[in-house]
Amino acid sequence: MLGLAPDAGSARAARALARPGTWSDLGSTESLVWGKCQGSAREPYQVTVDLNEPAFRCTCPSRKFPCKHGLALLLLWAAGGGAVADLDTTADFAADWARGRQTRREPSGEPDPEARARRVAERESLMSAGLDEFERWLFDLVRQGLAGVRAQPARYWETAAARLVDAQLPGLAERVRSMGAAVHARDDWAPYLLTQLGRWYLAVRAWRGRATLPAATMGDLRAVLGWSRRSEEVLAGERLRDRWWVLGLRQDEDERLLSQRTWLYGEESGETVVLLDFAAAGNALRVPHVLGSVLDGELALYPGSPPRRVLLAGEPSTGTGDGLPVTDTIERALDLAATWQAGNPWLSRIPMSLGAVTVVPGDDGDVLVDRDGTALRLAAEADVWSLLALSGGHPVDVFGEWIDRRLYPCSVAVDGRLVSL
């Protein structure tokens, strides 16, 4: 990417600026990357990159093209790691510039289907080449034996992830990058690694047979590879109107990105779906949701298997719910989880609504036990003391995420209201 720099000085300056702390309002879509970079002026420079050409636009006074800010933004996006999140809504300044370019290219205002098909074909070719290389990397890893991966330095995983980013496979890259820490942090690192290797290889094989995949499976595959969909495309597709109960919220934050998963349950449809919100670290989420509220409105569904990702299609009316609207026994919840996992082998977070479970601490790990006597292990990171305090040792309804055969509680129903954990 630094080959686009007009001179060596611009390339050096771009490397120095490619740090998340210098930027705000970062985001990306399938075709655009944008952000604001604080420079010498009072107001930060507005920077946008059109990934299709690439083309650059920056409000700084530099006469170089591309300027150091545009190059730095491109480097930051290519590095992956979540600093530049995939967003459903384009920043106003980036959208205005993109519309202006579109109008100048296409006076009629209609998109050029041939140009779009060409861009899609180019991306698919790049992804195919990247997955071919990744397959060889997987074969080398298995051939050398799993025991040796713990001796590998961090750059072993970082290099593999960077190559996937270059091939426009950021979702798969993030999974590979996180494995570098998991093989040292987990006691069960060997079976966990073997499981993930199988899922990664399955993604490679599925991509090669993508022409025959059902639409839902292709949606799952695009999600794991990191090929995001434009919000306009999702909003133009399948929709579902219902009264949507907010069951649980879960936020993750690092030095680069704040993300939130909002789990919703449809009162009439019985569907459990997830709404994803992202913001650069230090910024507020665009769409806050209140635990225990009920959204009456229409959602647009991403292609994929259940539990599906959704977008708000308009402004829903908001009311207040009473506790958890649906609960299962642990056995039924596990049966549903198995069904969902069979439909989407890359599914990593499974929502569970459990009814009348009791917290039972233990030396070998804390568990939830339902009235049938079936137990479900809690994650070691779970806030079991808050759950005990809120429940008073009595059976309660709990909503959580089941990850790696452990439950991470998100909310508990107490006196008819949902309380966050």
Instruction: With beta carbons less than 8 A apart as the criterion, state whether 30 and 94 touch.
Output: no
Do 334 and 293 belong to one domain?
Answer: no
Predicted pLDDT at 3: 65
What is the rounded average pLDDT of the residues 357-367? Answer: 89
Whole-angstrom CA distances from 109 to 99, 112, 115, 238 are: 9, 9, 14, 25
Predicted pLDDT at 255: 57
Do 281 and 341 belong to one domain?
Answer: no
Rg (CA), the chain: 23
Report yes or no on 412 lying in a domain: yes
Do 134 and 149 belong to one domain?
Answer: yes
Report yes or no on 312 lying in a domain: yes
Count of the separate structural domains present in the chain? 4
pLDDT tens digits, residue range 25-39?
Answer: 888 887 889 999 988
| Rounded Cα gap, residues 155 and 371, in angstroms | 49
pLDDT tens digits, residue range 338-347?
Answer: 999 999 999 9
Do 351 and 395 belong to one domain?
Answer: yes
Note the pTM of the prediction, 2 decimals.
0.77
- Choose the final residue of a domain: 197, 225, 253: 225
Residue 257's domain spans which residues? 231-320
Do 257 and 274 belong to one domain?
Answer: yes
- Choose the final residue of a domain: 184, 199, 225: 225
Report yes or no on 325 lying in a domain: no
- Choose the final residue of a domain: 225, 247, 274: 225
Report yes or no on 112 lying in a domain: no
Do 308 and 241 belong to one domain?
Answer: yes
Report yes or no on 77 lying in a domain: yes
Predicted pLDDT at 28: 87
Report yes or no on 110 lying in a domain: no
Containing 44, the helix (H) or strand (E) segment is none
Do 99 and 15 belong to one domain?
Answer: yes
pLDDT confidence tier of residue 233, bands split at 50, 70 and 90:
confident
Predicted pLDDT at 18: 85
